[in-house]
Chain A
Amino acid sequence: MLLDIFDPKAPPQPIGIDLGTTNSIVAHVRDGRAVPLTTCDGTPLLPSVVHYGIEGSVVVGRSAAAYATREPERTIASVKRFMGRAAGDAETTRLGAYKFVPGEGSVVRFDLGKLKPSAVEVSAEILKSLRQSAVDQLTHVGGAVITVPAYFDDAQRQATRDAGRLAGLEVLRLLNEPTAAALAYGLDKRQNGLFAVYDLGGGTFDVTILLLEDGVFQVKSTGGDSALGGDDMDREVAERMLTAMGAVEPHLRTPEVVSIALQAARQAKHALTEATEVSIELPKKGGGELNFLLLRSDFDAWVQPLLERSGRSCRRALRDAGITASALDGVILVGGSTRVPRVRAYVQELFGKPPLADIDPDLVVAYGAAIQADLLARSSDEVLLLDVLPLSLGIETMGGGVDKILPRNTTIPAGAKATFTTYADNQTGFDLHVVQGEREIASDCRSLARFKLGGIPPLPAGFARLEVSFNVDENNLLSVKAVELTTGISQNVEVKPSYGLSDEEVEQMLIDALDHGESDFELRRLRDAQVEATRILLATDKALATDADLLENDERSRIERALSTARSAASSASKAASIESAVSALDEATHDWAGRRMNRAIQAAIAGKNLGAIEQSVAHAAGVEAHLAKHGER
């Protein structure tokens, strides 16, 4: 159910969601502290498992997981690994129990017979369940911050945002998981310094190096592998179990058998966190059972290659940050897989210091998301998160090479401009292929989108000059604009995402998901417009209280008029469109004034520090010296 009773008097409560590969969590801030909400399973952790019944029912969480061995193909776990991936992606060929819709489609779809849900739709079911739990406990749920692995690319992020929309959430922000964890730690411990966050989840690995200083969380570098996690450990063990069970040839590896092995492997892994050996009963080919004895030392050896993959990312992140491990003040462990003793030992070897895990590694990311949601909703200025672009952005060149326009680890929001010219007389269009990744050949990178620029005025070859701006926003999402410089005409940019759903598809899915289709959709749009209008009215009132002196001539009266129109539309209009147009009229009326207010904020930021600047930089230098002395460098 997407529509619930809307109590306008209850203040909306922002929430933070960790949409994990294995478990998902929703949290919020109560009395200044992040706390997890209870999910439909009665626990903070909701297994990220969705079961699609043959008769059309959908269940999520532990009751879905219960179907795993009975109906493995209809019980979808670890859907996060398929987000932003195309049909036929390497991920679909790994050991698993699912059937996929084959072909060249731009999204992975699970083949469940009549139903063929995409990864986005499956994720939306998990989010819907979390949202419902939040509504049950908080009455009026506000916007949501959803976390994503720092190493997620643009397509994976878009997919996550689409899933949020589909679940009826107002997605305030996509936040990187390691940054979220650092936020939870930093605010909890009031610590300053240079930290590494080692985040090994069920299906993704991230490492982030960040500097924490008086509320500023500045990410220096990030690295990782969006297909490396605890699932891969399970697969290492399951492979050996399947061999022991006699299921070596592919035809013997039915979804049921594979599912049993994967589940047993995970149980064994969990048991080995405490025990040094574990014995698991497994069914044998042709009937009977066998005892599979697994020693921790064997397990450790099997997962070693996976850990070394993570180590490579860590070393690169340190290099990119321009530091060595000895410069770190601490290492933070995040993700359920960091409970594995061998992982902890490996992290300690790698960074040369015992890692911190005092906040539950399963919950810390959701806490950080809740804190960020709360800060955003309160427009608080206590904290500033400066994150980075995880993968370089580039344009495919004529020869199939890559022209890098923004290197990895650039602070976001980021922008770059590139100028192109036409190569034929009267050429009116231009194609750009944007890729993401570090490789030198475009086909080795991940294709993001193809942009079709149209409407270039007909000019001789080489005369038209197209300036293309690439902007990456605070969510690490890319947008592209183009201007023809000789005429100053904005070009129409048509985006063909290489992976993922188009906006129209998502909208259609939204309509389809509602009980009464179009009419419910209209109602929802109305509600969204009301929320947005209320927010802007509040912001404008606040700005009038502080910056009225910056108003010019008749500006005030124009703004007052637009304000009252928007206010009455927000409270009484029955069509979303009338609210939206009143809001955009208000936007228009305040536009120039907003520019002046922003200039004042910039001036204040520059001037405010000029007096203290010298002191500050002296203190900074002293801090650096103390730091170097402490670590005995140079």
Chain B
Amino acid sequence: MDPFEALGVEPVFGLDLGLLEQRHRDLSRALHPDRHAASGAAERRMALGRAIEVNEAFRALKDPVRRAQALLARGGMETGEGKEPPASPALLMTVMERREALAEIRSSQDAVALARLIAEVRNEETRVQAALAQDFAAPSPNTAEILKTIGELRYYRRFLEEAQTIADELF
């Protein structure tokens, strides 16, 4: 289901996250299984399904990558890994370098270096997210550019996830 519709919000990239959160709560108040604990089995199942839909939509819209994908999907565009154009050689180079740095940290257990590396990639992620917002704000958004940016974000995302796993063990 389209997450914008599930939450009843306007399908734009620049969502008001505070409002989104409020909407999620209001819908949860109506749909959470605890609200239907006294009802029959069929109604309980229905409420559970709807509550899951709302939670899932909320999770998707909070995430810039998935929000962007949902917007493209509304335009009938299939997205997802592999659908994005190949990354630029420059990006691949930086990603490779950072990966090496991460591998080094894994063996050296250098918490300070890890924190620095995470902060660095986070900054990068924030910058690219802003660029994505710009892309969508354009009068006629350039979908090729958007797909490229999504691909780039995905690289940072995956890197940060890996770094976080190491951080969990280190700190």
Contacts and interface: CB of A to CB of B under 8 A. Distances in A.
A341 B165 CA distance: 32
B27 interface: yes
Contacts, number: 129
Contacts of B33: 413, 473-474
Contact of B28 (A312, A386, A584, A606): A386
A558 interface: no
Contact of A616 (B22, B30, B41, B52): B22
Interface string A575-603: 00000000110111011001100100110
A90 interface: no
Contact of A413 (B16, B22, B39, B51): B51
A620 B41 CA distance: 38
B40 A540 contact: yes
Contact of B52 (A471, A535, A620): A471
A584 B30 CA distance: 24
Interface residues of B, number: 40
B38 interface: yes
A413 B8 CA distance: 19
Chain B interface main SS type = helix
B31 A602 contact: yes
A598 to B, nearest CB: 6
A587 B42 contact: yes
A272 B50 CA distance: 52
B23 interface: yes
B154 to A, nearest CB: 14
Interface in B38-66: 38-43, 46-48, 50-53, 55-56, 58-59
Contacts of A540: 40
A590 B41 CA distance: 11
Interface stretch (A251-259, A376-384, A460-468, A494-502): A376-384
A621 interface: yes
A608 interface: yes
Contact of A602 (B27, B32, B38, B59): B27
A588 B46 CA distance: 12
A375 B55 CA distance: 22
Contacts of B43: 539, 587, 590, 594, 598
A415 B52 contact: yes
A450 interface: no
Nearest to A608: B26
Contacts of B25: 216, 218, 384, 386
A412 B23 contact: no
A617 B171 contact: no
Nearest to A214: B25
Contacts of B165: 438, 440
Contacts of A489: none
B34 A376 contact: yes
A536 B26 contact: no
A384 B22 contact: no
Contact of B48 (A386, A438, A471, A591): A471
Contact of A613 (B19, B34, B53, B55): B19
B38 A590 contact: no
Q: Which 7 A/B pairs are nearest by Cβ-Cβ distance?
A: A415-B52, A606-B8, A587-B42, A601-B30, A605-B26, A536-B40, A605-B30
